[in-house]
Amino acid sequence: MSSLWYALRVKPRFEKLVHTHLEQKGYEAFLPSYVSRNRWSDRIKEVRLPLFSGYTFCRFDVNDRLPILVTPGVQFIVGLGRIPIAVEETEIETLRHAVNSGQPLRPWPYIKVGQRVEIERGPLQGLSGIVLRVKNVDRLIISVSLLMRSVAVEIDQASVRPMKRATPSEYSDILSA
């Protein structure tokens, strides 16, 4: 069986340690992060934090998962009961693209309904997600369905184009929300 991406639930504030251990074991690991500004009375300090607190991602063969599970800080592989469920490759690639774009991004509440868009130009070209406006700033919401978590990255409204129209079932989801 080929290796797929899986989300790992880790102990609080163990994301970086788990990521380092997995890479040292030879696994391809991905810990998306963002820069947060913390303000104290006398200064402002920037710190790098995980986009998905309590989670990291790793590519491995699910039939050979024991080395992953015994990694210090790993609690379990995200799935349905005891059955691990792989994260969509496209969701990982979209996250990587957004993190590597240099655009400001931050954690965002998971959004299931809304208008899907595709970025036509700029550093995020080719990405798709849900567009949202907060405090007069447009953001693209990128979601990891399995974790029910999302990330918001700032976008230029002029660089997006709508994707398909909502289906009747999506309309009912929007109306019932």
Task: Give the model confidence (pLDDT) of 117-175 as tens digits.
Answer: 788 888 888 888 888 777 778 888 888 889 988 888 888 877 777 776 555 554 445 44
Q: What is the pLDDT of residue 74?
A: 97
Q: Give the pLDDT band of residue 114 (cuts 50, 70, 90).
A: low
User: Is the distance from CB of 8 to CB of 85 less than 8 angstroms?
Assistant: no
Q: Rounded to whole angstroms, how far apart are CA atoms 157 and 159?
A: 5
Mean pLDDT of the chain: 85
- For the chain, percent of residues with pLDDT exceeding 70: 88
> Residue 115: its pLDDT value, please?
67
**Residues 133-145: tens digit of each pLDDT:** 777 788 888 888 8
Structure tokens belonging to residue 174: 């929007």
How far apart, in whole angstroms, are the C-alpha atoms of residue 37 and residue 87? 30
Task: Identify whether the C-beta of residue 78 lies closer than 8 Å to the C-beta of residue 85.
Answer: yes
Q: How far apart are CA 153 and CA 48, in angstroms?
A: 16
Gap between the Cα atoms of 37 and 83, Å rounded: 38
Sorted by sequence, the CB contacts under 8 Å of residue 87 that are 6+ apart come out as 4, 5, 6, 7, 57, 144, 146, 147
Structural domains of the chain, with CATH: 4-87 (3.30.70.940), 103-176 (2.30.30)
- Higher pLDDT: 108 or 143? It is 143
Q: What pTM does this model have?
A: 0.71
Report the pLDDT value the prediction gives residue 167, as an integer from 0 to 100: 52
Mean pLDDT is lowest, of 35-44, 74-83, 129-138, for: 129-138
**Other Cβ atoms within 10 Å of 54 Cβ, number:** 17
Per-residue pLDDT at 111 exceeds 60: no
